[in-house]
Amino acid sequence: MTGPLVRRLAASSMSRFPSIKPKQSGVVLVPGHSAEVEGRSLFPTTVNTVDDPRVKRLLKSGHNSRKIGRRVEKGRLTMAPIFTLTLEERKTCPRSCKTWRSCYGNGMPYAQRLVHGPQFEAMLWAALADLQRKHPRGFLVRLHVLGDFYSVEYVDLWAEALVAFPALNVFGFTARNPVSDPIGQAIDRVASSNWLRFAVRWSGKSGDRFASRVIPDGETEDPDAITCPAQIGKAENCARCALCWQSTRSIAFLRH
Ligand code: SF4
């Protein structure tokens, strides 16, 4: 990771809350880096197929991330367990992503990424069915710690899962464009019709609702958004904050 093709910015720029900060990092790929050109993770050995013995489960407990938390502690989903899903950054993301070279996955050498595709989708469905059985009163999935919605069919899977598994709730961020990208259009259809259970925000979009943005360098706040409470010491983690799935207000993140 620290080879000549990767420029590490000041060590202090690594986020205190890397798992909840969308699409930014202290590690920026230099133009022409193979991970940039090929559209893949900087850490290919961490990208595993779902039948790889190293993959213990597709949906990991939020307990594994101190910035997510094990169970929701406030709001309508109180007591719901939280799970996270991690795909391969860049491979599943739109090339239009403004942080294509500076994705915060560049600073996550140990995160296990799942190979996407039909096999993954079949096992994801089975995993959601299992969670529905175990947590019929509600569970929450954070999409995607890394990666993004990669096809219209994959978005449709989530739309169908919301119907099949009434305990399922989702929150997350996407770099897809809701107007010009068919995948973004599909996300928009699901989120617009069922925001309460599919709270997926548009990364970098303007406006005071349904967006997530990084506060520009030199500024301390975004007047149209709520600054992520976990980044300013007002909440310990997502479980204790709940804003992302409770509120439609845009969320702003500090760049460290
Ligand atoms: S606003 Fe709250 S729920 Fe959203 S990322 Fe920050 S801590 Fe998590």
Per-residue pLDDT at 186: 98
Domain ranges of the chain: 6-202
Inform me whether the pLDDT recorded for 62 exceeds 70. Answer: yes
Per-residue pLDDT at 218: 85
Cα separation, 130 vs 134, in Å, equals 6
Q: Say if residue 240 is exposed, middle or buried (CB neighbours under 10 Å; 0-12, 13-18, 19+).
A: middle
pLDDT tens-digit series, residues 73-127: 999 999 999 999 999 999 999 999 989 999 989 999 999 999 999 999 999 999 9
| Centre of ligand 1 from the C-alpha of residue 237, in Å | 7
- Phi/psi region, residue 207 (left: phi>0; alpha: psi -120 to 50; beta: rest), is left
pLDDT tens-digit series, residues 123-159: 999 999 999 999 999 999 999 999 999 999 999 999 9
Q: Is 190 in the pocket of ligand 1 (CB under 6 A)?
A: no
Spatial CA neighbour of 108 closest among 41, 173, 53, 55: 41
Which amino acid would we find at residue 244? C
pLDDT tens-digit series, residues 167-188: 999 999 999 999 999 999 999 9
Cα separation, 156 vs 158, in Å, equals 5
- Mutation pick for ligand 1 pocket among 20, 104, 171, 212 (CB with most ligand atoms within 8 Å): 20
Q: Is 77 in the pocket of ligand 1 (CB under 6 A)?
A: no
| Centre of ligand 1 from the C-alpha of residue 183, in Å | 24
